Amino acid sequence: MKKIFFVMTLLIGAVLYAQDESGAAQSNNSTEQVRYNTVKYGTETEIVNLIQTLKTEGADYLDQEITALVENTRNQKILAGAFSFFGEREKSGLEDRAMRAIEERGEEKNETVLAAIDYLGKVKAEKAAPVLRKLIESSEKRFINAALRSFGRISGGGRADDAAEYLVDFYENNSPDDENRREIITALGAAGSAGAVQFLAGIASNSEERAGLRTAALESIAKIGAGSEVADKAGLDAILACVSAGDPNLRSAAVTALGPFSGQAVDQAILDAFRDSYYRTRIAAAQASRQRKLAAAVPYLKFRAERDEVPAVKEDSIRALGAIADSESVKILEDLFIERKNNDRVRIVAGEMIMQLQPEKFLDRFVMELDEAKQKKQTALYNGLLKIIGETKSANMETVTRRLMQNSGVIERSYALDMAVNNRLAGLADEIRAITTDKNESLAAKARRTLEKLGLP
pLDDT at 253 exceeding the cut of 90: yes
Mean pLDDT of all residues in 391-405: 88
pLDDT at 85 exceeding the cut of 60: yes
CA angle 310, 287, 352 (to 5 degrees): 75
Closest by CA position to 168, among listed 135, 201, 146, 129:
201
pLDDT of residue 227: 60
pLDDT in tens, 427-436: 888 888 988 8
pLDDT of residue 8: 43
**Using CA atoms, how far apart are residues 415 and 400, in angstroms rounded to an integer?**
11
**pLDDT band for position 58 (cuts 50, 70, 90):** confident
pLDDT at 26 exceeding the cut of 70: no
Mean pLDDT of all residues in 373-398: 90
pLDDT of residue 428: 85
Mean pLDDT of all residues in 36-57: 91
**Using CA atoms, how far apart are residues 400 and 42, in angstroms rounded to an integer?**
48
Rg, Å, the chain Cα set: 28
Closest by CA position to 112, among listed 77, 161, 61, 68:
77
pLDDT of residue 226: 63
Mean pLDDT of all residues in 34-43: 91
Mean pLDDT of all residues in 259-277: 92
Three-state DSSP state, 146: helix
pLDDT at 238 exceeding the cut of 90: yes
CB atoms within 10 A of CB 263: 12
Q: Between 107 and 18, whose confidence is greater?
A: 107
Q: Between 157 and 220, whose confidence is greater?
A: 220
**Using CA atoms, how far apart are residues 337 and 331, in angstroms rounded to an integer?**
10
Mean pLDDT of all residues in 361-379: 91
**pLDDT band for position 231 (cuts 50, 70, 90):** low
CB atoms within 10 A of CB 52: 13
Q: 314 with 308: CB under 8 angstroms? A: yes
Q: How far is CA 234 from CA 50, 240, 244, 367, 419, in A?
A: 51, 10, 17, 52, 49
What contacts 270, CB < 8 A, 6 or more positions away?
A: 255, 258, 285, 288, 289, 292, 294, 297
Mean pLDDT of all residues in 345-366: 94
CB atoms within 10 A of CB 11: 10
**Using CA atoms, how far apart are residues 243 and 254, in angstroms rounded to an integer?**
5
Max Cα separation, the chain?
Answer: 102
Q: Confirm whether pTM is higher than 0.85.
A: no
pLDDT at 413 exceeding the cut of 80: yes
pLDDT at 245 exceeding the cut of 80: yes
Q: How far is CA 457 from CA 429, 438, 439, 448, in A?
A: 9, 17, 21, 9
**Using CA atoms, how far apart are residues 40 and 31, in angstroms rounded to an integer?**
14
* Count of alpha carbons within 13 angstroms of residue 68, beta-carbon side: 7
Angle (deg, nearest 10), helices 264-273 and 279-292: 140
Mean pLDDT of all residues in 226-240: 78
pLDDT at 230 exceeding the cut of 70: no
CB atoms within 10 A of CB 301: 28
What contacts 403, CB < 8 A, 6 or more positions away?
A: none
Q: 320 with 289: CB under 8 angstroms? A: yes
**Using CA atoms, how far apart are residues 203 and 216, in angstroms rounded to an integer?**
9
**Range ranked top by mean pLDDT from 262-266, 294-298, 440-444:** 294-298
Handedness of CA 19, 21, 24, 29 (dihedral sign): negative
pLDDT of residue 220: 94
**Using CA atoms, how far apart are residues 214 and 410, in angstroms rounded to an integer?**
51
pLDDT in tens, 308-350: 999 999 999 999 999 999 999 999 999 999 999 999 999 999 9
**pLDDT band for position 1 (cuts 50, 70, 90):** very low
pLDDT in tens, 137-160: 988 889 999 999 999 999 876 788
27-36, 128-137, 149-158, 345-354: which range is least confident on average? 27-36
**Using CA atoms, how far apart are residues 125 and 96, in angstroms rounded to an integer?**
10
Please, what is the average pLDDT of the chain? 88
55-64, 154-163, 379-388, 446-455: which range is least confident on average? 154-163
**pLDDT band for position 250 (cuts 50, 70, 90):** very high
pLDDT of residue 27: 41
**Using CA atoms, how far apart are residues 216 and 183, in angstroms rounded to an integer?**
9
The fraction of the chain above a pLDDT of 90, given in percent, is 61
Dump the DSSP string for 324-358: H--HHHHHHHHHHHH-TTS-HHHHHHHHHHHHHH-
pLDDT at 426 exceeding the cut of 60: yes
Q: 201 with 238: CB under 8 angstroms? A: yes
